[in-house]
Structure 1
Amino acid sequence: FATAIERWDLSAIDLLPEYIKLCYCALLDAYSEFEKDLASKGILYGLPFAKESMKILVRSYIIEARWCDQQYVPTMEEYMRVALLSCGYLLLSTSSFLGMEDIVTKEAFEWVSGNPKIVQASSIICRLMDDIVSHKFEQQRGHVASAVECYMKQHGVSEEEAVKVFREKVGNAWKDINEELMRPPVVPMPLLERVLNLARLMDVLYQNNDSYTNPHLMKDHVAALLKDPVFFED
């Protein structure tokens, strides 16, 4: 699958087993539709960056799959180098820019795809908050080691101690985001707000439970947003 993704060509489908061919075709079809839409708006320059972020995500998945197969528990540093990519935040941030045709430039795509500090901080929030609430269930189903297992093994500490350290890291990541938002913007503020809002989403999804895996837990949030919104007067 990784080889087919790197080639990014329908002819590569012959490399794949039957069970994943549909997924590969759907992925290429989706990006083909993006390409048509972006070309009509004159902002096709953003698509290569979105494709590359998808390739980066798949590469990180392959590494984690290898770790899982080998029952390997990496060091925290080794884990985070991969996990901050496998959480998908870089892909989400880069892809979210595709719909901002009025203000997004090629330079903005170069900026976000370079994994700037605000994106790194948001990735830390996503990854660590996810691992804190989901690691027990994931280990029961034979998932790759999470940050919790990696930190406990490397430092010889309890789960509670590891979680405490991670919550401090999440707090520091929010400080980094606020710091970056206070600086003179290197890209238009609406683009920075995209990155910020995705971090806010992660905070909602993983605040107390794994609401990504258990979407019914988001029912009240969705109702508050769509059914019973709160309006503020100017």
Structure 2
Amino acid sequence: MALKKMEEVMDREGCSYLVLYCIEAKMKELVRAYCVEAKWYNEGNTPKLEEYLSNGLESSAYYLLIIASFVSKGKIIPKETFEWMRGAPKPLRTSSLMQRLINDVASHQGGMLLQLWSAT
């Protein structure tokens, strides 16, 4: 539904379908990554760090949000930018992993605080 609305807006503004393609591809990768995490959880598996970081790159949704935020800029963002982003450049991968790890640390600390609070 949201992709259809984006497509309508992009049609009106004459934007590239490459944007929609990037967003749709990243949404599919995000869902796959969530499924991998759910499988790990349901099976009681703890992934190796390399597996976790590889999957965390997608499950952070940070990369998807960056691409989606460019849609609101319309024609200002050139097609070449989206082509560059589609190739998963190192700056975007790195910032996405950093965001994932920061979020995980904050979630872990928040969980520890809840345990302390419920114990009192």
* TM-score category (smaller protein): 0.7 to 0.9
Identity %: 37
Shift of 1:100: 1.9
Deviation track 1:97-130 (CA, whole Å, cap 9, x = no partner) reads 1122232233211211222111112112211111
Q: Secondary structure at the match of 2:56?
A: helix
- Structure 1's consecutive aligned runs of 4 or more residues displaced over 3 angstroms after TM superposition are none
Name the residue aligned to 1:43.
Answer: 15
Name the residue aligned to 1:85.
Answer: 58
Of stretches 83-92 and 127-136 in structure 1, the one that deviates more from structure 2 is 127-136
Shift of 1:53: 0.8
Structure 1 gap segments, 5+ residues each: 1-28, 141-234
Structure 2 gap segments, 5+ residues each: 115-120
CA distance, structure 1, for counterparts of residue 83 and residue 38 of structure 2: 29
- 1:167-206 to 2 correspondences below 5 Å: none
- In proportion to residue count, which structure has more helix? 2
CA contact (8 A) 2:15 2:74 kept: yes
Q: Does 1:59 align with 2:5?
A: no
CA distance, structure 1, for counterparts of residue 3 and residue 97 of structure 2: 27
Name the residue aligned to 1:135.
Answer: 108
CA contact (8 A) 2:70 2:77 kept: yes
CA distance, structure 2, for counterparts of residue 30 and residue 44 of structure 1: 17
Name the residue aligned to 2:41.
Answer: 68
CA distance, structure 2, for counterparts of residue 43 and residue 86 of structure 1: 27
The TM-score with structure 2 as length reference comes to: 0.84
CA contact (8 A) 2:15 2:75 kept: no
Deviation track 1:129-184 (CA, whole Å, cap 9, x = no partner) reads 1111112529x9xxxxxxxxxxxxxxxxxxxxxxxxxxxxxxxxxxxxxxxxxxxx
CA distance, structure 1, for counterparts of residue 87 and residue 66 of structure 2: 11
Using CA pairs below 8 Å that are at least 6 residues apart, which structure has the higher relative contact order?
Answer: 2
Aligned residues: 111
CA contact (8 A) 1:53 1:113 kept: no
Name the residue aligned to 1:30.
Answer: 2
Larger Rg: 1
